[in-house]
A and B are shown apart, each in its own frame.
Chain A
Amino acid sequence: MMIGRLTRFRTKVLLSIIPMILTLCVLFGGMSLYQHNRLLRSEFIKRGKALASNLAASGELGVFSEDERLLNAALRGITGEEDVAYVFIYNDVGKQLIGGGKTLTRPGFASNAETSSREIRLRMLSNRQPVSRMVTDAGAGSFLEFYAPILSTEARLVEEQFFGIPESAQGAGKNRTRVIGIAQIGLAMHNIDAHSAYVIKLWAILSVVFLAAGALAAYALSRKITQPITRLTESTARMAEGQIDQEIPVDSRDELGTLATTYNKMAKALKRTLDERARVATQLRDLNRSLEDRIRERTSELEETNRELARASRHKSEFLANMSHELRTPLNAIMGFTELIIDGVYGKIPDEMGESIQDIHINSRHLLRLINDVLDLSKIEAGQMRLNPSEYSMQSLIDSVISATRSLATEKRLELISRIEADLPVVWGDSKRMTQVLMNLVGNAIKFTPGSGCVTVTARRMRGGQSETSSAHHGEFIEVTVADTGIGIPAEELKSIFSEFRQVDSSITREYGGSGLGLSIAKRLVEMHEGSIWAESEVGKGSIFYFRVPLRTRWGESR
């Protein structure tokens, strides 16, 4: 389509240039032809007039004497001329004295000299100069006729013959000359016509040559213009198809050359841009790949670390299990033998030894509690603590804890009361661990309450949505409280009592014993049940410990 338009552009150039050349040829050729013809004609007339004058002069004697021999002699010099068609000499009354010339021999030639002789004579006689006229003969073609007066003067004959009469002399000699005859010469026009035809032919040929040259030049010019455009167009088309690497030849320094140079620059810039883009894309791909590699590497490293951690964790777990076994086995022997001694298996104990053996028994029980606490906490922190969930009754759990601690309370003369709401629903959880929690809370209450005090355990069912902690469970739960009338906990200590190795005062450890891990373990265990634990206290008046556990835990429901 582009190429078609360019071809039309070429045609356009040709169509606009050819008429211009044509017009120029016609105007120029016509003008020069016209000038040439005029010049030719005037020369012709001059020549004709001169010939007529010559004839008139040379024929004077013959006319005067009417001697045919003289007349023939005068005629002879003129009829030899190539373009002289006919020659006549008349006397003063118009009688044809003699005639000659090539045309006379031709058939059909009819001289009309007679008809015009009067008019011609009048004109000649008025100025005594030769005159001319155009004559067209139907049979023989066109002629230019010349008439010259044959003058007779004795005195000025020589001057008359050469037309060299001065104005003043002519005027002076007028009365002394008279017209004795007329010389008539007819010059054939066909030479002039032929010459004109030749010139016209020449002009036509030149015109055609100019036209051809002009058209050729126009074609070459338009081609010079369209060729780079075509190249550019084709290159652009190739570029559009994706062959970016384009360079077109620059063969001129004109606007088209500049265009080609600019185009090449643009193509180079485009190629650079695309190359750059491709390079960046490649880099990006490489980067991505190396990133993926690195991620894979890191992932495998992480997996390896995870495996190592899992291995370490398993080792820790195995270590804990082993420690548990290794610590309990000798402790079992110590406690077992002590109890056997106390029970008198080996006979009666001497009185002075009794108290010491009781001390061994008490301390070994304490040691066992410490070992259990440390192992429990380690297991929880290692994520090794596995709950063994089942449905259990909170009522019977509380009852068993109360009965297990009753003797301890009685020893300290404490009142141990339980107030449990009727018809508590069963709870899903690890009853052993919940027993451990409650045992710890009740044990602490008894431990920190002086004699004649009171420890109260309550339990009630509650609706969700009023939890005071961040615990996320909804639905129903059971709240258990353990209240005492003990020494209380200062407000600033209340927050940290659930942290590890915390008792209100290190002196308390000495006075009351305990690992300081009990509450921390209780908190972890309650939280593992998706519950919450907290305390309220007033120094000197006593403390209340609360814990809530949902009836259904999420992990419970999934089982």
Chain B
Amino acid sequence: MNKKLILHVEDNQYNRKIIRDLLSKNCYEVIEAYDGEAALDALARRRPDLILMDVQLPKLSGLDATRRIRANPILAEIPVIAITSFALSGDDRLAFEAGCNAYIAKPFSPRDLLEMIRGFLDS
């Protein structure tokens, strides 16, 4: 059976490891990008089934990267889940406006995130 490919964009190594451990254990293939630009580079090589996008990133921000992705016809249909540590009112609105499909605030529960990912990929 073909493993679903998930691109995780995140600058914090520990948070990358959590997602990596969680998703590997649950039979997903994970590729990682350190920031928005690296994410676009990675997308040029492989097309993932879902993108987990941290909003606060060095260089290109998560929301800007999402806008680029949405502007690209090949990538436009990939679901993007935004992960933010701000949890402020209005962050969700900004995320949706940039083209994200879902939103989860840090600190998130890996269980909740897994459930959200499954909602997008297993339907």
Contacts and interface: CB of A to CB of B under 8 A. Distances in A.
Interface of A: 321, 324-325, 328-337, 339-340, 343, 345-346, 368, 372, 386-388, 430, 432-433
A345 B25 contact: yes
B89 A332 contact: no
A334 to B, nearest CB: 8
Nearest to B11: A329
Interface in B83-110: 85-90, 93, 106-110
A373 to B, nearest CB: 13
A329 B89 contact: no
29 contacts: A321-B86, A324-B85, A324-B86, A324-B88, A325-B85, A329-B12, A329-B15, A329-B85, A330-B14, A331-B107, A332-B18, A335-B107, A335-B109, A336-B15, A336-B18, A336-B22, A336-B107, A336-B110, A337-B18, A339-B109, A339-B110, A340-B18, A340-B22, A340-B110, A345-B25, A346-B21, A386-B90, A388-B89, A433-B89
B110 A329 contact: no
Contacts of A340: 18, 21-22, 110
Interface of B: 12, 14-15, 18, 21-22, 25, 56, 85-90, 93, 106-111
A332 B15 contact: yes
A333 B87 CA distance: 16
Instruction: Classify the interface of chain A: helix, strand, loop or mixed.
Output: helix
Contact of A387 (B22, B85, B89, B109): B89
Nearest to B16: A333
Contacts of B88: 321, 324, 386
A430 B89 contact: yes
Contacts of B85: 324-325, 328-329, 332
Contacts of A386: 88-90
Nearest to A345: B25
Contacts of A330: 14
A368 B107 contact: yes
Given A324-B87, A339-B109, A430-B89, A345 B22 contact: yes
Given A336-B15, A339-B109, A340-B21, A328 B89 contact: no
The CB with the most chain A CB atoms within 10 A, among B12, B14, B93, B110, is that of: B110
Nearest to A330: B14
Nearest to B83: A332
Given A388-B89, A388-B90, A388-B93, A325 B110 contact: no
A333 B89 contact: no
Nearest to A334: B107
A333 B56 CA distance: 16
Contacts of A329: 12, 15, 85, 106
A54 B21 CA distance: 194
A321 B89 CA distance: 12
Contacts of A368: 107
Contacts of A336: 14-15, 18, 22, 107-110
B23 to A, nearest CB: 10
A328 B105 CA distance: 10
Nearest to B14: A333
Contacts of B111: 339, 343
A432 B88 CA distance: 10
A345 to B, nearest CB: 5
Would you list the 10 A-B pairs with minimal beta carbon distance, nearest first?
Answer: A332-B107, A388-B89, A333-B14, A336-B18, A328-B85, A332-B106, A325-B85, A328-B106, A335-B107, A345-B25
Contacts of A324: 85-88
Contacts of B110: 336, 339-340, 343
A532 to B, nearest CB: 22
Contacts of B89: 386-388, 430, 432-433
A337 B12 CA distance: 14
